[in-house]
Structure 1
């Protein structure tokens, strides 16, 4: 601590040591993993220090003098829009990791049994080598992030279409529905390739079927990295996938608007695209979660909805260089 003189242990030193014996303190390089596991990070530094040294991406800012009132699950003045589960891990951050230990122990006494603090505080976090695992929000350049999002999206889409195809083959065996060569027709007309009939178009059919699905998976990866994750995000993505199909099929004249389809054909298409969207979403979300919560999730940790005085987050909190 700045200005801290060595000497015989003072009462505050003994109190600090006692408090820390009850804390499972978080190392700076382990903070991203704690956040990914659902921890709430609370920055108690005064505004002067935050203006001088910068913000802590993803942290909820709470003044130290109102901390207990804002985090007590049973208090009428608790923070809105926050999961106040008493067993949720809460990581308190001060400038150098001293007052945060005292604050974390107080929170434990209020019933937040997993409250703890960041060892070394913001200054220790600020000086950890990014290669040791500091938040993705602070590491990597924009091109690097784009490559990661695209690569993960292609992988998620490829897995999604593989599972969808297995489901289609099973459904065809049960219903006797013949193979569809609509993907081949679309690709042939988009690229001016000669149109081939039946089995001669298998390679073209598979190229469009799997290639389009893998490419559209990139959209789901973008959603996941932005913080749009889970079943609701996958339902939105299913609409995107269906819309992509319809635009291509109608633009090339291969298909007609879906409201003109027989109900059975429409139901089968919705079923298979729903499977694709769900599986692609699961993979994209799992891959994105390795980098911690997205900007949207960080906003939600502070307040739900669109709140002007919460966002936008600092540039470093959304991965821009």
Structure 2
């Protein structure tokens, strides 16, 4: 279809961005979305060497301006029961700075979420900084706080929020902005978990697996973080995401089973040793008491 890539060049280039380990299905001709994806990836190889970028070149505002530990600290504070907002000017400046950075990030997340199917996937592959930010965000956010419910509605406008703020209440503004960021991050991962968005925009299962496996877009660590952050507030969406990944990417499911078996064996050894210690300390006394009661 005139994508500007010779067949052999296309095959050689694909080796750099696709995993060749999964040979469960025979190689078949690429569909239009897959061809467009490879074409965009090749174009981005040229564009990334340019000294300056703009949105037309898939530029990303520097996510590094946000210290994820700052999110961790501030967000945990604003969710604490009976939290009284500090009136100290330095605390307010920190919160205002975080709101500013979160707004920048939210704009970029919205921009990337609006990418059409092939462009979205090409961006993920050719700009690893973006996935690095998402990984850091998931890892640094506190998991044990009772995060307020974030409604994930994939058909809802990203500008629509369930939370409202009154006046210049900085904390409410911060809660709203963090919630929006959390919601957008989840939508990114939910989109990654889908190999098809329409009848005309999709990757074959084999092609999708090769992209995921080569670039490690979804792994057990990410799934556990997603479950810890969103599981209590959005269990159905998290379940759907995980189920879809397990069904379409056997490698991830196998890694999960291996990790689960390993943890189960560790717990078995721990409890077994604990029972031995318990028997050493009080086993004789329990046995003697049991006999006397008979």
After TM superposition, the score normalised by the length of structure 2 is: 0.28
Q: With CA pairs under 8 Å and 6+ residues apart, which has the higher RCO, 1 or 2? A: 2
Greater helix fraction, Structure 1 or Structure 2: 2
Greater strand fraction, Structure 1 or Structure 2: 1
After TM superposition, the score normalised by the length of structure 1 is: 0.27
Q: Give the number of the structure whose alpha-carbon radius of gyration is greater.
A: 1
